[in-house]
Structure 1
Amino acid sequence: MAPVFLNRIGTATPRHEVHGTFRAFAEGLIPEGRERRLFSRMADRAGIARRWSVLEPDGRPGLVDAEGFYAPGGFPSTRARMVRWEAEAPALAFRALEALGPVEGITHLITASCTGFAAPGLDHAIAARLGLEESVARTNIGFMGCQAAIVALRAAHDAVRADPAARVLVVNLELCTLHLQERPEVEQLLCFLLFGDGCSAALVSADPEGLRLDGFRCALMPEASEQIAWRVADNGFDMVLSGEVPKSLARALPQRLPALLDGAEPAAFDLWAIHPGGRSVLDAVEESCRPPQGALAASRAVLEGHGNMSSPTIMFVMRAMLAERERGRRGIAMAFGPGLSAETMRFETV
């Protein structure tokens, strides 16, 4: 079959930088004492300097955003959060599309999000914006969390293998900051301290430029099935991201690595695009997979500058690799999601 290529990636974030404001608010929810000190130490070690949001921050003590979306004691309902997602998502997607550059002849459109839903939704807005043919084949991928970008690329890969004339537009968009919860548990607050908003747009086709996509693998880890979970609740989506995830990955990955790498040794891959789910997640991958020294630098840089944006995050990492690519370098992309599960993609620069 004809090879398939990830040609280009465009990315965008909202204009509001919120990490300091969100951290101060979260810290204020914890009573003075040992737990607040623990939270502060963990936040310092998170490896995040900036995160971006569609919400404008409010610097006054005890407040999150300038317009009162998160009013103390009266956080918004799920419906209000979805209304905001529907209002904000298209504009951010359009900015990522502008960063991607010209796209012609799109035959397939794949969108992925786990932070908002509407119908007609983001796929319709993008199709209208780009003037796509009415016959464009649309696929919406929902609730697969941080690994959804690799799942979406796999679907794009399958479409081009089935029809080498196919040109697939893949858009991953998450507004994670619309799901802040007013809860004092340290683990929950540390979880939400990771997340920011972002969007990626990518073109996948048979045109031989960018990254050749060589194959995909998945591994379910049922022994840790409840350590990452994402469920719709009355006041937003409830996120479970256990502090045990890095330990579970460190235990589970070595035995699954031969299958995930399709029998290759870790040393065979020069480029490692690892989803930066958090500093400790990257540390666990580094410890258990033994990539070349410094191979996770791009992932750590994206974490520092953007936090975890869920599904588009790994595309930010791969965009950095595309920008500095050297022909003939083999790579592995890896992301984790609910389940616990891992999705991988092998690629080579061309």
Structure 2
Amino acid sequence: MAPPTDQFASAPNPNSLWTETDQAKYHEAPADPSRSCVLGLGTANPETGLSMEDFGNMILDIYGYQDVPLAKSFVERVAKASGIKKKQVVASYQVYKDNPCLQGFNESNLGERFRIYEPATMETGQLAAERALSDWGGDRDDITHLITYSTSMLLSPSLDLRLLRVLNLKPTVKHFSVSLLGCHGGVNGIRTAAEIAQADPNNRVLAVFVEINSVAAQTLNPANPSADLSPFLVNMLFGDGSGAVVVGKHPTKKETSILEVHRSQTYLIPDSSTSIGAILLESGMHTTLEKNVPLHVAQHVGGFVTELLHNTKLSFANVNWACHPGGKGILDAVEKSCKLKPEQLQSSRHILGNYGNMGATTVLFVLDKLRRDKKVDSTIHPWTTALSFGPGITVEGLLMKFGS
């Protein structure tokens, strides 16, 4: 990997891109106005919250494995070792009772899953977007672009089009939807929004991430349950949530820069294409998580962050780590391989412990926690590295700085 450049800064004379009207509008720009900035940030979860013990008992009950010692002991081990204390889910006990077709192995139930996913996605996605817009404080008529990300299912008309309407955005907003990208979608989405913002100081990009993973839950093969316990592992690790950001550059005096986006970097880990994956079948989404994922992360994350910080005078010790908590094993791998102190991943572990792995959305929760903690904790650094990992295995990174 070549060292990254400062991608998110304009040409030496950014005013050359502006009309006189633009210059008048943006005269209250910050000291470094050429950076793309996160101007608003919001998150949301479904109402149903369960402890990991209760969630484990629920899936054993609804799938009929409560009296199967192997399955029960496996779920109990995962609950204790996952680092997750509780999480929020759409697919509650009542949802399964109302939709018994979700309880069978390889049943053709994709239609039922879509019918549960659609309203839940719209509800939590709209709520996160509204919170980000409120946090931004601008006029939603100034939103120029809308991007949506969701790995847990598909919609047509797509999620971006649906949200554009319910959020009462202008019909001229440029919009597109990204589906099935994976857990690295959060950093990918912020980076993409930052790149769009660089094209024009008038651009205001709303990026919305919605993951309703519980609707994709799968059961074991009753003919040989011990052959593959991974469906229960995936069910236990993943939670549901949504997040959104508003991104732009040259903030007006009514806007506040939460985080400046200074650099981005992407790396595809060699020989890891089968480690993380998913396939959408008639029986729903089937996810693959191989045991070697933490090992791959451990072998490459140190060099990745070293190059992200190249020529910055920053080190592993004096940046915040907003690491996607894909699981306790992932965070342990990052901590050990990068020789971090336990407190450096405290925000990521807190989000994992209270929400589980919410896919692409999760890193937004980590950034939001760091933002809130910074108001009361003087040990939070000005600079932050945001990291996420997804299929490929793809590593995505951002170097960000808290606004004034």
What is the TM-score with the length of structure 2 in the denominator? 0.79
- In structure 2, distance between residues paired with 1:333 and 1:256: 12
Q: Does the Cα contact within 8 Å between 1:253 and 1:289 map onto a contact in 2?
A: yes
SS in 1 for 2:160: helix
Aligned to 2:367: 318
Aligned to 1:198: 241
Structure-2 change in CA distance of 1:249 and 1:88 (3 Å): same
Aligned to 2:23: none
Q: Does the Cα contact within 8 Å between 1:56 and 1:67 map onto a contact in 2?
A: no
CA deviation profile, 1:283-323 (whole Å, cap 9, x unmatched) = 00111123344011111111111101101111001011122
Aligned to 1:61: none
> Which of 38, 41, 46 pairs up with 2:82?
46
Match of 1:169, as an amino acid? Answer: L
SS in 2 for 1:9: strand
SS in 1 for 2:360: coil
1:6 to 2:38 alignment:
yes
Shift of 1:70: 5.4
Q: Does the Cα contact within 8 Å between 2:317 and 2:340 map onto a contact in 1?
A: no
- In structure 2, distance between residues paired with 1:252 and 1:30: 40
For 1:134-173, list aligned pairs within 5 A: 134-173=171-210
Aligned to 1:232: 280
Structure-2 change in CA distance of 1:301 and 1:69 (3 Å): farther
1:68 to 2:121 alignment:
no
- In structure 2, distance between residues paired with 1:315 and 1:98: 15
For 1:208-247, list aligned pairs within 5 A: 209-247=257-295
- In structure 2, distance between residues paired with 1:123 and 1:33: 45
Match of 1:95, as an amino acid? Answer: L
- In structure 1, distance between residues paired with 2:67 and 2:300: 36
Aligned to 1:250: 298
Aligned length: 345
Quote the sequence identity (%): 27
Match of 1:338, as an amino acid? Answer: P
Per mean C-alpha deviation after superposition, the further-off stretch among 78-87 and 270-279 is 78-87
Q: Does the Cα contact within 8 Å between 2:272 and 2:393 map onto a contact in 1?
A: yes
SS in 2 for 1:223: coil
> Which of 318, 329, 339 pairs up with 2:392?
339
CA deviation profile, 1:196-219 (whole Å, cap 9, x unmatched) = 110011111112511000111011
Match of 2:216, as an amino acid? Answer: H
- In structure 2, distance between residues paired with 1:272 and 1:7: 20
Q: Does the Cα contact within 8 Å between 2:65 and 2:71 map onto a contact in 1?
A: no
Per mean C-alpha deviation after superposition, the further-off stretch among 255-264 and 338-347 is 255-264
Shift of 1:81: 1.4
SS in 2 for 1:115: coil
Which structure has the bigger radius of gyration? 2
1:115 to 2:163 alignment:
no
Q: Does the Cα contact within 8 Å between 2:102 and 2:109 map onto a contact in 1?
A: no
Structure-2 change in CA distance of 1:160 and 1:46 (3 Å): same
Shift of 1:103: 4.3
Structure-2 change in CA distance of 1:126 and 1:302 (3 Å): same
- In structure 1, distance between residues paired with 2:247 and 2:153: 24
CA deviation profile, 1:239-292 (whole Å, cap 9, x unmatched) = 001122112211232343433444555435421100010111100011112334
Per mean C-alpha deviation after superposition, the further-off stretch among 203-212 and 31-40 is 31-40
Per mean C-alpha deviation after superposition, the further-off stretch among 20-29 and 284-293 is 20-29
> Which of 34, 51, 56 pairs up with 1:23?
56
Shift of 1:147: 0.7
Shift of 1:116: 1.7
Shift of 1:31: 6.9
Shift of 1:25: 4.1
Match of 2:352, as an amino acid? Answer: L
**Unaligned 5+ residue runs, structure 1?**
59-63
What is the TM-score with the length of structure 1 in the denominator? 0.91
- In structure 2, distance between residues paired with 1:24 and 1:146: 26
1:178 to 2:215 alignment:
yes
**Unaligned 5+ residue runs, structure 2?**
1-9, 11-33
- In structure 2, distance between residues paired with 1:177 and 1:131: 29
Match of 2:103, as an amino acid? Answer: P
- In structure 2, distance between residues paired with 1:26 and 1:76: 19
SS in 2 for 1:6: strand
Shift of 1:29: 3.2
- In structure 2, distance between residues paired with 1:292 and 1:31: 42
Shift of 1:96: 1.2
Per mean C-alpha deviation after superposition, the further-off stretch among 329-338 and 81-90 is 81-90
Aligned to 2:322: 273
- In structure 2, distance between residues paired with 1:39 and 1:55: 18
